[in-house]
Amino acid sequence: MPSNIVAKNCSATSRNNSNATLTTSSAISNQQQNAAATNISSFSIFQHNSKNYDEMTVIGNGAYGTVYKARDLASNGQYVALKKVTIPLGEDGVPVSTIREIALLKQLTALEHPNIVRVR
């Protein structure tokens, strides 16, 4: 059962024609609950104005991207953790493991806990 994943409030750029960079700060998909277990037929990315954030320092790097300490210029300079997810593009499209990572980021929006950063 194919699922269309739509990235919202993000920017995408290509790098070396084999990778795309996705900046996540908000909602990632519409059909999200079982995204990790489904075949992904397409991945549509809507461009977001990245000038809303002032990246300050790198907090950490991982398999799926880099997390930055940044200021959200649209909300009076509030400090945020901004994750740029690196999406490897292969012959078969976006790997399921990358879709899982994006799905997990989206699921964080529903959780409220003092030790979990709120995803916007």
Known binding-site positions: 83
For residue 102, which of 36, 44, 52 has the smallest C-alpha distance? 36
Burial class (CB in 10 A: 0-12, 13-18, 19+), 95: middle
102 contacts 20 by C-beta, under 8 angstroms: no
Q: Which residues are annotated as a binding site for ATP?
A: 83
